[in-house]
Structures are given as structure tokens and as C-alpha cells.
Amino acid sequence: MRIMGLDVGDKTIGVAVSDALGWTAQGLEVIRRDTLEKDLQRLQEIIKEYEVEEILVGLPKNMNGTLGDRAQKVLDLVEVFKENLGLPVKLWDERLSTVEAEKMLIKADVSRAKRKKVIDKMAACVILQSYLTSR
């Protein structure tokens, strides 16, 4: 069963997908957010192409575990995903996922300019891999 992991931001959506067995996550792409309609269309294309059966969305909790404005935006968008994408959507705590992704890219000696282009995709990968490992 393939799972799609999403790191949702105001300007981008990082996308990762699991392998068919649900063991490993691979970063796929960064969607530059445009209109909600175009964002949903691209997600539907990915779902079809990779035969995704479930969506995992990173929930940006505050360090103390509370939910702030960003988390509420994500929760609102998750409702739209549920209504429009026709798949189960789960939430996963994404605290420090971007920091971990950044560290991985620095360790791999990726330049600052290249890191900026792929950081959201890597954060989605970290979120999804964390979920897969926990199962």
C-alpha cells in the first residue's frame, strides 16, 4: 500500500511517497502552491500515477505540543483534501522535520541554493519515514 506524505506550507507542498510495501519513503517533488484547484489537480495526478491509497500530512505543532495558526491552516486544508481527493488522510506530528531534513542535506554537502529548492520534499520524506518506521 503506497502512502503519500505531505509537508504543507504557505508557498509550497513537499511530496514524498512510500514504496509499494510501505517500508521506505522517497522524496518526490515540491509543488509550488498556486490556486487550491491547481494544487488539488497536481496531487490527484500523483495519487493516480503512484497508486496512492492513503495520505499523511505533517501537522506543525508548537514545541510544547499546542496547535498554533499554521497548524489550524493545515487542519483546514486536510478537510479540503478529505472532501476532494477521496482517500483517507492522517495527521503526523512534524516537529523538527525541516531541521532534520536540513541537517541531512548539509551532511550530504548540498549547496544552500539547492537545499532551498528541495528542503520541503526532504521534510515530507522525513515525516513519511517517521510514520512508516513507527508502524
10-residue averages of pLDDT along the chain (135 residues):
94 95 93 95 97 95 80 93 95 76 69 70 89 89
pTM of this prediction? Answer: 0.87
Please tell me the predicted confidence (pLDDT) of residue 67.
80
Task: Say how far apart CA 46 and CA 31 lie, in whole Å.
Answer: 11
Helices (H), 13-111: 36-50, 69-85, 97-107
Instruction: Work out the end-to-end distance of the chain between its first and last CA atoms, rounded to an integer number of angstroms.
Output: 13
Task: Say how far apart CA 61 and CA 73 lie, in whole Å.
Answer: 12
In order of their start, the domains of the chain are: 2-134 (3.30.420.140)
Surface-to-core class of residue 83, CB atoms within 10 Å of its CB (0-12 exposed, 13-18 middle, 19+ buried): exposed
Please tell me the predicted confidence (pLDDT) of residue 28.
94
Please tell me the predicted confidence (pLDDT) of residue 98.
67
Please tell me the predicted confidence (pLDDT) of residue 122.
82
Going by C-alpha positions, the residue among 106, 116, 94, 92 that lies closest to residue 32 is 116
Please tell me the predicted confidence (pLDDT) of residue 41.
97
Please tell me the predicted confidence (pLDDT) of residue 96.
65
